[in-house]
Amino acid sequence: MIETAALALLCLGWFLFFAGTVGILRMPDVYTRLHTAGKLDTLGSFALLLGLAVLQSRSLTLPDILVSLKIMLVLVFVSVANPTATHALVDAGLRSGLEPWMRSPAAPGPAPREELP
Amino acid sequence: MRTLTLVALTLTAAFLFRAALDFPAWGDPASPAGLHVSRFFIERSYDDARTPNLVTATLADYRSYDTMFETVVVFCAALACFFIIRAAREACVANVFHYRHAPTGLVLTLRRGCPLPRLRGRFEQIDSEWTPRSVILETVSRGMIPFLQLFAIYVLAHGHYSPGGGFQAGVIFGASYILLAVSHDLRTLTDHVAERTMHLLAAAGVSLYVGIGALALWAGMQFMDYGWMTLAFGMDGPGAHSLGILLVELGVALTVCASLTTIFKLVSSEGTIMEGL
């Protein structure tokens, strides 16, 4: 039962990371790429680490539960640091004058792609 | 000068490649390391140093002479960086200082004056490429830095049992200082830990390492034999080696942390340590 739940969480994490990677490759500019990377990678690592913690603590012995707690600490750290880093990157992009990608009404079609810095 | 450097580099590379030819083949079971050295380490390390982590025992006890000079290399990197790009304090390279009046947003620019005036009131010194302080970044980093430093100490102290040790702990501790400088500004870092303190810490780490080894000479043992602590502290042999490993790793951590922070400060501020990044 516990293993099934852990497996489901791991698969969810794998799917979210996959979707995030597809987003990074397919999105047109820095901001939209950071949008997918920031959200999906955070949630993906959240699900992966939670799955690992659940899998580790299935024996319900003290050492295993302690390892699970350490994994949970990593989880908290990632879920605080990752959105902040994304915020800092977007902030730096806006301040340095990088225009967000827009589909202009006059000329439909994608604007010239901007390379990642 | 450039030609001389090029010649020296080419010669060194040639010697290194020539020396690499004499190495045993990759994964050769008949190489000296595979015949008896590894087995000796694997069988004896716990009884000798009471350290379950074989890597730590090998690195800081059996091969501590090697690790000592690795620490010296890190120290020399910071020292070289200092001598090459640190500008003299009297030269006052930036020479333009900006003060921002917080309530009005008015910016005063001073074009001279090396003893920086301490402006009273609600003035703050700002970088020439000023960006407003980001509350999110400052709050999150202020919350994270203590935990980073705690984790660094954990990695240092737990190196006997799990992956970790002096180099890793020093890097994590140095990263916490760099995070402080990046999320606030460089002056915040130099206000917390003065440049002089950093340099002294880097030197203290190397001195601690060499001192631990040299005290063995005073006790009539070989250099880097931690067995002298059995005489000094009245502990058994393996316990003394375990303590010696911890002290040596502490020296490594001090040097790595201080050198890393110093290199970051110098490179990001072009040697002035006034403003940067």
Residues B150-167 have pLDDT tens digits of 999 999 999 999 888 899
CA proximity to B117, closest of B94, B91, B90, B98 = B98
Contact A80 B143 (CB under 8 A): yes
Euclidean distance between CA atoms B215 and B230, whole angstroms: 12
Predicted pLDDT of residue B121: 67
Pairing of strands B97-101, B123-126: antiparallel
Q: Domain containing A66: what range?
A: 2-95
Euclidean distance between CA atoms B89 and B272, whole angstroms: 8
Predicted pLDDT of residue A76: 92
pLDDT of A107 strictly over 70: no
Q: Edge-to-edge strands of the sheet including B123-126?
A: B107-110, B97-101, B123-126
CB contacts, 8 Å: A95 with chain B: 131
pLDDT band at B33 (very low <50, low <70, confident <90, very high): confident
In a domain, B40, yes or no: no
Helix (H/G/I), strand (E/B), else coil: B125? strand
Predicted pLDDT of residue B103: 77
| Two tokens, residue B206 | 């190397």
Contact B134 A81 (CB under 8 A): no
In a domain, B154, yes or no: yes
Predicted pLDDT of residue B120: 65
In a domain, A105, yes or no: no
- Contact between B61 and B49 under an 8 Å Cβ cutoff? The reply is yes
In a domain, A24, yes or no: yes
pLDDT of B277 strictly over 80: no
In a domain, B32, yes or no: no
pLDDT band at B22 (very low <50, low <70, confident <90, very high): confident
Euclidean distance between CA atoms B122 and B15, whole angstroms: 62
User: Could you read off the pLDDT of B192-214 as tens digits, one per residue?
Assistant: 999 899 999 999 999 999 999 99
Q: Domain containing B240: what range?
A: 49-91+133-268
CB contacts, 8 Å: B136 with chain A: 84, 87
pLDDT band at B100 (very low <50, low <70, confident <90, very high): confident
pLDDT of B138 strictly over 60: yes
In a domain, B29, yes or no: no
pLDDT band at B29 (very low <50, low <70, confident <90, very high): confident
pLDDT of B170 strictly over 90: yes
| Two tokens, residue B163 | 């992956």
- Chain B residue with the nearest C-alpha to that of A85: B137
Q: What is the mean pLDDT of residues B215-222?
A: 88
Rounded to the nearest angstrom, the gap between the alpha carbon of residue A102 and the centroid of all alpha carbons in its chain is 24
pLDDT of B175 strictly over 70: yes
Predicted pLDDT of residue B124: 74
Residues in chain B: 277
pLDDT band at B95 (very low <50, low <70, confident <90, very high): low
In a domain, B174, yes or no: yes
CA proximity to A14, closest of A35, A44, A40 = A44
The number of folded domains in chain B is 1
Reported ipTM exceeds the 0.85 cut? no
| Two tokens, residue A62 | 């003290």
Which of B131, B137, B147 lies at the smallest CB-CB distance from A84? B137
pLDDT band at B250 (very low <50, low <70, confident <90, very high): very high
In a domain, A106, yes or no: no
Predicted pLDDT of residue B39: 84
In a domain, A6, yes or no: yes
Contact B137 A77 (CB under 8 A): no
In a domain, A115, yes or no: no
In a domain, B240, yes or no: yes
Contact A91 B134 (CB under 8 A): yes
Q: How far is A116 from chain B (nearest CA, A)?
A: 20
- Contact between A79 and A46 under an 8 Å Cβ cutoff? The reply is yes
User: Could you read off the pLDDT of A55-93 as tens digits, one per residue?
Assistant: 998 888 999 999 999 999 999 999 999 999 999 999 888
Average pLDDT of the residues of chain B? 86
CA atoms within 13 A on the CB side of B246: 15
In a domain, A56, yes or no: yes
Q: What is the mean pLDDT of residues B242-266?
A: 94
In a domain, B57, yes or no: yes
CB contacts, 8 Å: B131 with chain A: 95
Contact A87 B143 (CB under 8 A): no
- Contact between B262 and B84 under an 8 Å Cβ cutoff? The reply is no
In a domain, A40, yes or no: yes
The number of folded domains in chain A is 1
| Two tokens, residue B239 | 């316990």
Q: What is the mean pLDDT of residues B218-225?
A: 87
Predicted pLDDT of residue A85: 92
CB atoms within 10 A of CB B40: 12
Return the percentage of chain A with pLDDT > 90, whole number.
62
In a domain, A73, yes or no: yes
